Structure 1
Amino acid sequence: MGDLFLEVQIQNMSSSTVFIQKVLLEPSEMYIGIELNTINQDGEDESTFGTRTFLQSSEGRQYLYHLQLKPEYSEKASAIRELMDVGKLDIVWKRNLGEMPIVQTIQLETEAPFYGNIKLYLEKTPDTVILEEPFHITCKITNCSAKKMKLVLKMCDTASVRWCGNSGRYLGKLPPQSSLCFTLTLLSLKLGLQSISGLRITDKVLRKTYDYDDVANVYVVPSIIKMKC
């Protein structure tokens, strides 16, 4: 969906302690990079590793990053077929305090996202919903092909999620490289983490149907818990 989550595992393979001075992700011009290595404590961001900057022998740690493909590249994703430059990762470390730091650079690449003729992703969806009460999601469809489409939406119920409204809804004509948004209503019949599935989009021009399952997850709670929150 244009999002990448990068986990960097760093391990001290030497027999002595090493000091991590900096781990820096520099995304390419196609991506926006977000670090996920801090927590908010009393209004201030603190490192998940605390103030500890050293690694003992054989000790390791994990760094997390969220990379988002910029909209101007997302719209052109169907035309990109080769490896994409994600950016680079700089690890600055040293073996002993006082010595010159060592910079280790890792180039990052990934396969270009391929959406086929249609790309669908969620513009808006709730994280938490109430059991057996309607909630709304907003979807966006992009025509990644070179031909005009005529789209019809069909919604298929699952064991845990029901769609509200008429299935077989006509979404309209969609020119090449254009997008449209629509809002749908659902309700969940089971508690816990539930998957939103069962979207079927048919292009009447090419007579081709695209299936979308597990497009998102929502956490379903009883109404009394939601009221207390």
Structure 2
Amino acid sequence: MFFRKMFLSPSHVPLEVKTKCYNSDLNEVYLEVQIKNISSSTIFIQKVSLELSEMYTGAELNIVSQAGEDECTFGTRMFLQSMEGRQYLYNLQLKQEFSEKVGTISRQTELGKLIILWKRNLGEMAVLQTIQLERESLDYGNLRLSLEEIPETVILEKPFNVTCKITNCSDRKMKLVLRMNDTDSVRWCGTSERYLGKLSPNSSLCFSLTLLSLKMGLQSISGICITDKVLRKSHVCDNIAKVFVVSSILKMKS
């Protein structure tokens, strides 16, 4: 993962802007912005804002609550000395109406534009707007498995439930069968094979699993196998989540 340098305009612009995206999920991304004063004089940063594309909502993560009031993590000091830099962080969420359009979203990478309002030490005002910021294109293949619900803590050798969601990222209908392979630490409770049904392109379905753990500590849920009967192709999903397993005594004390 590398920072992408944004060339804002003419060479006399005293600010260098670099961006970096962290894809938490298909529907969520963290955007880090680095702003650096590359001039020989002090610059006053009046405002930094993110103008999002129509597909995203966002939250600025540079605000903390102090004595019931929101304050910037940089405090009241808004000056950047020569060669001094600052980092801004944003959490972006894909809007609900776009979240199920996986085939389209995986190719749409535009996040928005960064707008910086600044002054030189003599008071002259300037506004900079970056080119369109982009995230890396995500490719989940033809089928995507995500976790919807899981308990934080489970009891050793006692069944617990998790809920998963399958999304058809292809442009054709699937006919899905679920099978789970037992691991050393986690076993599946139920029949050896389950028919999930037909799944249209760019649509999703949810299913539940009943599991039990044979070992204590942090255990990984793996071994889920989903087969498309149309193409006779299997998708094995490992390490989709972790669950903390405790003894019944510890659970009762908590």
- Secondary structure at the aligned position of 1:72 is classed as helix
Superposition TM-score, scaled by structure 2 size: 0.72
| Residue matched to 1:191 | 217
| Count of residues paired in the alignment | 225
State the structure with bigger RCO (CA 8 A, min sep 6), 1 or 2: 1
* Structure 2: unaligned runs, 5 residues or longer: 1-25
| Residue matched to 1:100 | 125
1-side partners of 2:55 and 2:140: how far apart? Answer: 17
2-side partners of 1:187 and 1:31: how far apart? Answer: 38
2-side partners of 1:64 and 1:57: how far apart? Answer: 22
After TM superposition, give the deviation of residue 181 of structure 1 in Å: 0.9
| Residue matched to 2:73 | 48
- Secondary structure at the aligned position of 2:97 is classed as helix
2-side partners of 1:157 and 1:64: how far apart? Answer: 41
Change over 3 Å in CA distance of 1:41–1:177 after alignment to 2: same
1:209 equivalenced with 2:250 (yes/no): no
1:13 equivalenced with 2:32 (yes/no): no
After TM superposition, give the deviation of residue 5 of structure 1 in Å: 1.4
Superposition TM-score, scaled by structure 1 size: 0.79
| Residue matched to 2:197 | 172
Cα deviations by residue, 1:133-192 (Å, 9 ceiling, x for unpaired): 655432211223343322122234456x51442343322222333321112344563535
After TM superposition, give the deviation of residue 82 of structure 1 in Å: 4.7
* Contact 1:78 1:114 (8 Å CA) reproduced: no
Superposition pairs for residues 76-115 of structure 1, below 5 Å?
Answer: 76-79=101-104, 82=107, 84-96=109-121, 98-115=123-140
Give 2:233's aligned amino acid: K
2-side partners of 1:225 and 1:98: how far apart? Answer: 63
2-side partners of 1:216 and 1:147: how far apart? Answer: 28
1:129 equivalenced with 2:138 (yes/no): no
1-side partners of 2:244 and 2:114: how far apart? Answer: 34
2-side partners of 1:157 and 1:22: how far apart? Answer: 54
1-side partners of 2:242 and 2:57: how far apart? Answer: 24
Change over 3 Å in CA distance of 1:85–1:224 after alignment to 2: same
* Contact 1:82 1:111 (8 Å CA) reproduced: no
Change over 3 Å in CA distance of 1:131–1:69 after alignment to 2: same
1:22 equivalenced with 2:47 (yes/no): yes
Change over 3 Å in CA distance of 1:94–1:200 after alignment to 2: farther
Greater shift, 202-211 or 213-222, is seen at 213-222
After TM superposition, give the deviation of residue 88 of structure 1 in Å: 0.8
* Structure 1: unaligned runs, 5 residues or longer: none
After TM superposition, give the deviation of residue 208 of structure 1 in Å: 0.8
After TM superposition, give the deviation of residue 211 of structure 1 in Å: 2.5
Greater shift, 26-35 or 146-155, is seen at 146-155
Q: If you compute each CA radius of gyration, which structure gives the higher value, 1 or 2?
A: 2
After TM superposition, give the deviation of residue 124 of structure 1 in Å: 2.9
- Secondary structure at the aligned position of 2:98 is classed as helix
After TM superposition, give the deviation of residue 9 of structure 1 in Å: 1.5
- Secondary structure at the aligned position of 2:83 is classed as coil
Q: CA RMSD in A?
A: 3.1
| Residue matched to 1:119 | 144
Give 1:107's aligned amino acid: Q
Give 1:165's aligned amino acid: C
